[in-house]
Amino acid sequence: MRVSLLRSAVCWLMVTVTPAYLIAEDTGAMLHGKGPVLLNGNPLPTNSSAIFPGDSIQTQPESAADITVSGASVIVLPGSTVKYEGNAIELEQGAVSVASSVGISTHTTGVIVTPHSSGWAEFDIAIVKGEVDIAARKGEMTVQCGNDTLTLPEGQEAVRDASGKCRRRKAAAIIPAGENPLLNRYVLIGGGIIGWVTVLCLFLCSTGGGQPASPSTP
């Protein structure tokens, strides 16, 4: 009788624990916050937490967050809302800076941005006054706007205007090495935030310039 009860207890334990364990192994994603960050509408506990597909992350005007997963890192800038989807990020408002060696894509209203290859890629997306700005900082990107697709070379920007059309910016918008003009524009025009640079630098310094400490490819 005792053996039967023990067996039942172990079975129920496996039923309740195994699914969560498998999900954690499948995602392996962690969220780190600097300042007040909301996870699914609740304050982020101890400034860090494991996250799973479908989770919503919201930063405040004075805070930022970093989503890290094997081979990728996503910085969520102040005043932004995103949804983590496992192999993709949905940007609902604000701006994100993505660094990835696993081809993680980011999408927002009418726009999907995906790195061309499995090599290391870095890109930024910001929603500013009804437009979506995209900057390819490292590697080439595919930008899909509805039924239209354009290729965005490294160091250049594109914009989806209020009419829903995507176009490359003029050659003068080529990104100088080490700068983030797209995010500067978001902060000055859309976010109105002064202190985000310090927060961003803290994340970049802790991850070696945005690249995870142990990407999936050497």
Whether 76 has a pLDDT exceeding 90, the answer reads yes
Q: How confident is the model at residue 182 (pLDDT cuts 50, 70, 90)?
A: low
Contacts 24+ apart (CB under 8 A), 46-50: 50/24
Statement: 29-206 belongs to CATH 2.60.120.1440:
yes
Q: How far apart are CA 78 and CA 166, in angstroms?
A: 25
pLDDT in tens, 125-161: 999 888 999 999 999 999 999 888 999 999 999 999 8
Q: What is the pTM of this model?
A: 0.72
Here the tokens at position 143 are: 């930008």
Q: What is the DSSP string of 143-172?
A: EEETTEEEEE-TT-EEEE-TTS-EEEPPGG
Please state the domain extents for the chain.
29-206
pLDDT in tens, 199-216: 455 454 554 444 444 444
Q: How far apart are CA 69 and CA 113, in angstroms?
A: 18
Q: Nearest-CA neighbor of 31 among 87, 83, 102? A: 83
| Residues in the chain, overall count | 218
- Taking only Cα atoms into account, the Rg of the chain, rounded to an integer number of angstroms, comes to 19
